[in-house]
Structure 1
């Protein structure tokens, strides 16, 4: 691919935006913002339509498993659009889970991939044990007996754990890491929703007590799947952040044309023009970084880790900047519950730390390029 979206990809974007405008706007979120039950808040009908009408969940799944045989690039495009409307469904979790399962291969993961492609199965990666993401499992233990396993441990910050059908759990044997698929309905699995700053992204703590699951990978294969999931997760979140940041800028510019002070639209004041221009530069830099990550995923997979770190660091900062300016330039109305500004700021603040802060991305980038 080139470092830009193709005509076909832009046509897909237009179709997706039309679908979201009809089915999943920010306004559709509001009745569920105080909902503590993630299942009640999750519109599975829209999720299934996203799969059936647009094939979004199937994009990066091989055709042999019922997918479209596309790539991470198309998933990043979808995430940018979902970020614009603060979509609260488990698409980010699905992208990460799909990356893990694709790395493992169809022999072990074929049935799960087919369920995801159809929109019938929601899968999420359960790997964080402390406050850091994508670290080798240490406290979650697994006893493997043939193709089945028994898992015991606690996983934190599990994306959409409350609505997931299957957990991809990272664990360790006495000798090596392992990856186990555990159904959330299995005995010994307890999923506890966690209230976070961002009411549009739901997380959970998952406790497993001798829960039975299916072994997907062990040893080097499991470690490789987790490492790839890290790169994909950072790039995917960056794409979503670009969409949110771009929407914040749109809202700011629209309001600055309407709001008047001293008989003039506030957008005519040079100081505010400069602030909007600064946000625009940050958004476009972030979009370019995400496009590079999309390019690397197809043309130079070894470069994906580096590209993801650059995109993650820049997009996190750009989104927070855009969300803060959006709230401040709306003045008093921007601080009210009824306005959308605080929803974008909450998403920006929480995403700023999800999968690592910009400083952590830069430290990892330095390690990757051996600085």
Structure 2
């Protein structure tokens, strides 16, 4: 596996970095993403997409993690979009993915972790519908999404459903989150009627969708770690103490070196996982879990070390570092902790 980007992917990376250069933390970057056609990247052309790869999606997620710009990209494109693409029926994809791909409609995934372990119950309705009941916490961007893609448990096993976010029987309650730049919501269904979207092999589909989602999230974490490293290097060059730049002190050099090693190791794992989507499901899942563990550690470590290097200013409200720390801590709790993913890796090796 080649652990590097293609020329086209590097051009995409440079374009995004230039576009986000003046973006403040939490600023809405949806217009820029739509203008560059980036919401279309991971979907096949027959569903209104551009037919690109997971690695291209990872490039976008990395730059979003670097800038912490606000956009429902993780929720709509990565979580709901990938789940529908991999686990949904052809009809459901044809009906819903084009609007998600062109950005005219946002979606959110209502699922537990693992995705198939849902707390939502589904009973068969009339005309190919499903009646949903249950509650799901911590739905990313769940309060504002136009469409909800729901993983539920039915009489015959796991089901996938699509329902309008404002449909009768759906109650969405925004939750206060540590990370101010990413919305979380409690979604409750009470006799809500949804369209059945279950694909032929939903079990394998959800496994691949989950692997793709945690790979993309790991890419975002790598971007955040890289941003913390860059800010720390720049600060160490310019901040002077005892008549010299603090970057000349061995203690600071060691911190920066450790941050670099952790970030580059995680970056390599993400590139490997992003390229593993063409391999078997087992290999893909293991590669994604590896990327997830290393990226979680890199993002949290980089944010903590960066705050230490910046000293007093590092934990002030005005400095952006606390946003990166908040994102690192909340992201490591989304879709399984590192210990859960470490067990996945161990099982694959054994």
Structures share fold, TM-score greater than 0.5: yes
Work out whether 1:118 is the aligned partner of 2:102. Answer: yes
Counterpart Cα distance in 2 of 1:310 and 1:214: 35
Match of 2:79 in 1: 96
Q: Is the 8 A contact 2:119 2:136 kept in 1?
A: no
User: 1:21-42: per-residue Cα shift (whole Å, max 9, x none)?
Assistant: 35x432x54xxxxxxxxxxxxx
Counterpart Cα distance in 2 of 1:194 and 1:110: 32
User: 1:224-245: per-residue Cα shift (whole Å, max 9, x none)?
Assistant: 3322222112111110000000
Work out whether 1:171 is the aligned partner of 2:152. Answer: yes
User: 1:114-133: per-residue Cα shift (whole Å, max 9, x none)?
Assistant: 001110111111012xxx55
Match of 1:78 in 2: 60
Work out whether 1:61 is the aligned partner of 2:43. Answer: yes
User: How many Å apart are 1:301 and its aligned residue?
Assistant: 5.2
Match of 1:158 in 2: 139
User: How many Å apart are 1:297 and its aligned residue?
Assistant: 1.5
Aligned positions of 1:139-158 closer than 5 A: 139-158=120-139
| TM-score normalised by structure 1 residue count | 0.89
User: How many Å apart are 1:300 and its aligned residue?
Assistant: 5.3
| TM-score normalised by structure 2 residue count | 0.94
User: How many Å apart are 1:175 and its aligned residue?
Assistant: 2.7
User: 1:87-125: per-residue Cα shift (whole Å, max 9, x none)?
Assistant: 221111121222112212532211211001110111111
Q: 1:126 to 1:139 in 2, by over 3 A?
A: closer
Q: In angstroms, what is the RMSD of aligned CA positions?
A: 1.7
User: How many Å apart are 1:12 and its aligned residue?
Assistant: 1.1
Aligned positions of 1:160-199 closer than 5 A: 160-199=141-180
Match of 2:274 in 1: 294
SS in 1 for 2:319: coil
User: How many Å apart are 1:255 and its aligned residue?
Assistant: 0.5
Q: 1:48 to 1:262 in 2, by over 3 A?
A: closer
Work out whether 1:338 is the aligned partner of 2:321. Answer: no
Match of 1:107 in 2: 91
Work out whether 1:316 is the aligned partner of 2:264. Answer: no
Match of 2:327 in 1: 347
Q: 1:187 to 1:54 in 2, by over 3 A?
A: same
Q: Is the 8 A contact 1:260 1:266 kept in 2?
A: yes
User: How many Å apart are 1:260 and its aligned residue?
Assistant: 1.1
User: 1:321-349: per-residue Cα shift (whole Å, max 9, x none)?
Assistant: 10001111111111110011111111111
Match of 1:367 in 2: 347
Unaligned 5+ runs, structure 2: none
Match of 2:16 in 1: 16
Counterpart Cα distance in 2 of 1:364 and 1:143: 34
Moved over 3 A (4+): 298-302
Deviates more, 1:230-239 or 1:313-322: 230-239
Q: 2:245 aligns with which of 252, 258, 265?
A: 265
Q: 1:136 to 1:181 in 2, by over 3 A?
A: same
Unaligned 5+ runs, structure 1: 30-42
Counterpart Cα distance in 2 of 1:117 and 1:177: 25
Q: 1:182 to 1:366 in 2, by over 3 A?
A: same
User: 1:11-59: per-residue Cα shift (whole Å, max 9, x none)?
Assistant: 111112222235x432x54xxxxxxxxxxxxx4xx424412x2111110
